Amino acid sequence: MIEIQPHPDETPVAFIERADALELADEVIDDLLLRHFGIQDESKRKLLRLKSAVFWERFFVSHASQVCERGGSRYAALRFIQKKNGQCGQHPLSEKQIELLVDSVGEWKA
């Protein structure tokens, strides 16, 4: 198991993004949030998680991949991400970033 500790000046969101990038289990992240940041409330931990850019990028890639695999349109994947982008307080992706993300999942049918 990977050992991770928050950096001295690291915010809870920055820590969660780093932990998400390392694919740590949710229970491990929750424990570290409690021990190092004193965040006991589960709803507060969930809200912090929803601000993680790493979480959202994975979520969007997964969704776009599923749309592509089912033979859906590139437009449908783009629209879904555009609608969800930034809704939970996370830093929104630019249009170019969204297009690159959607195009990264595979070959779209015309």
Report the C-alpha gap between 45 and 100 in whole angstroms: 30
Report the C-alpha gap between 56 and 68 in whole angstroms: 18
How confident is the model over 20-34, as a mean pLDDT? 92
Closest CA to 33 of 19, 12, 17: 12
Closest CA to 51 of 95, 24, 22, 20: 20
| Summary mean pLDDT of the chain | 92
Domain residue ranges in the chain: 12-49, 53-103
Q: At a CB cut-off of 8 Å and minimum separation 6, what does 11 contact?
A: none
- Helix ranges (H only) for the chain are 12-21, 26-37, 42-49, 53-69, 74-84, 95-103
Is the separation of the CB atoms in 102 and 81 below 8 Å? yes
50, 56, 107 from 71: Cα distances, Å:
29, 23, 10
Answer yes or no: is pLDDT of 90 > 90.
no
pLDDT digits (tens, 9 = 90+) for 34-63: 999 999 999 999 999 999 999 999 999 999
